[in-house]
Amino acid sequence: MARTAERIRHRLSGLQPIVFVSGNFNILHPGHLRLLSFAAETGGPLVVGVNSDGTAGVTMPQTVRLQSVQAIGAVAEAVALSEPPEVFIARLRPEIVVKGKEYADRFNPEQAIVDSYGGRILFSSGEVRFASKALLEREYFETQFSVIRKPTDYPARNGFQVAELAGIPPRFAALKVVVVGDLIVDEYINCDPLGMSQEDPTIVVTPIESKRFVGGAGIVAAHARGLGAQVRYIGVSGQDDSADFARASLESYGVHVEMFADPTRPTTRKERYRALGKTLLRVNHLRQHAIEPDQQHRIYGAVDAALADADILLFADFNYGCLPQALVDLLSDRARSLGVMMAADSQASSQLSDISRFTGMTLITPTEREARLALRDSEAGLVVIADHLQRAARAVNVIITLGAEGLLIHAPHQGRYRTDRLPAFNAGPKDVAGAGDSFFTCVALALRLGVDIWQAAYLGSLAAACQVSRVGNTPLMARELLTEISYPGP
Whether 348 and 460 share a structural domain: yes
Angle at 229 between CA 228 and CA 233, to 5 degrees: 125
Same domain, 245 and 329: yes
408 and 270 assigned to the same domain: yes
Please, which residues bridge with residue 206 across strands?
A: 192
Instruction: Give CA separation, 312 vs 69, 176, 339, 445, in Å.
Output: 48, 7, 9, 8
Q: In what order do the strands lie in the sheet with 256-261?
A: 256-261, 230-237, 176-181, 312-317, 341-346, 363-364, 397-401, 407-413, 416-422
CATH number at residue 162: 3.40.1190.20
Please tell me the predicted confidence (pLDDT) of residue 208.
Answer: 79
| Residue 143, pLDDT above cutoff 60 | no
Residues 6+ apart with CB under 8 A from 264: 287, 289, 292
Which of 114, 130, 146 is where one domain is finished?
130
Q: How confident is the model at residue 33 (pLDDT cuts 50, 70, 90)?
A: confident
CA–CA dist 167, 174 (Å, integer): 13
User: In the 8-state DSSP scheme, what is residue 426?
Assistant: B
Measured distance CA(401)–CA(404) in Å, rounded: 9
Task: Tell me: do 104 and 149 sit in the same domain.
Answer: no
Rounded-to-integer distance, Cα 429 and Cα 278, Å: 11
Q: Note the pLDDT tens digit of each residue in 54-102.
A: 898 888 899 988 988 888 878 999 999 999 999 999 999 999 999 988 8
Check whether 198 has a pLDDT greater than 90: no
Same domain, 116 and 214: no
Asked whether residue 282 falls in the same domain as residue 205, the answer is yes
Q: Give yes or no for residue 205 having a pLDDT over 70.
A: yes
Number of domains in the chain: 2
Residue 488 has pLDDT above 80, yes or no: no
Q: Give the 3-state DSSP-derived string for 229-276, with helices as H, strands as E and coil as C.
A: CEEEEEEEECCCHHHHHHHHHHHHHCCEEEEEECCCCCCEEEEEEEEC
292 and 158 both lie in a single domain: yes
Averaged pLDDT, 166-177: 97
**pLDDT value for 140:** 47
- Residue 23 is part of which domain span? 2-130
Same domain? For 357 and 430 the reply is yes
Given 104, 130, 156, which residue is the final one in a domain?
130
- Res 453: pLDDT: 97
Is 116 in the same domain as 167? no
CA distance 459 to 466: 11
The CA R_g of the chain, rounded to the nearest whole Å, is 27
In degrees and rounded to multiples of 5, residue 133 shows phi and psi of -65, -25
Distance CA 50, CA 48 (A): 6
**Residues 104 and 143 both lie in one domain:** no
What type of residue sits at position 441? T
One domain, residues 291 and 231: yes
Burial class (CB in 10 A: 0-12, 13-18, 19+), 356: buried
Distance of alpha carbon 247 from the chain centroid: 16
Phi/psi of residue 276, each to 5°?
Answer: 55, 40
Among 105, 130, 155, residue at a domain's last position: 130
What is the percentage of the chain residues whose pLDDT exceeds 70? 93
- At residue 353, the 3 state secondary structure works out as coil
* Residues 172, 290: Cα–Cα separation, whole Å: 33
The C-alpha atoms of residue 28 and residue 273 are separated, in whole angstroms, by 28
CATH (domain of 126):
3.40.50.620
The letter for the amino acid at 191 is: C
Going by the DSSP 8-state scheme, the letter that residue 356 receives in this structure is G
Indicate if 304 and 161 belong to the same structural domain. yes
